Amino acid sequence: MSERDQLGFNSQQYVKEVLVPHLLPFYNRFSGLDEGIEMVEDGASYHTSEYTTKHRIQLGIKHMDWPPHSPDLNPIENI
């Protein structure tokens, strides 16, 4: 369980406090690129809930499927 899960951070807070005010403007700014962008999130409950998924679809945000319990193999982290 992540630290935010332990503190009671939930899907409604994630959408209201993170997704809409911060990630959506960033996503919209760069989604016009030729290949567009996809969001990658970990398996935190507020990332994977039906509530968050519904809002992400309504906002038109593409989301990359990420297998549960997979090692973090993001190559940019080595830079």
- CA dist., res. 14 & res. 62, Å (int): 17
CB 48 within 8 A of CB 12: no
- pTM for the full model? 0.73
Higher pLDDT, 3 or 59: 59
pLDDT band per the 50, 70, 90 thresholds, residue 10? very high
pLDDT of 12-46, one tens digit each?
999 999 999 999 998 888 877 767 788 888 888 89
pLDDT of residue 44: 85
Write the burial class of residue 68 (CB in 10 Å: 0-12 exposed, 13-18 middle, 19+ buried). Answer: exposed
Task: Quote the percentage of the chain above a pLDDT of 90.
Answer: 37
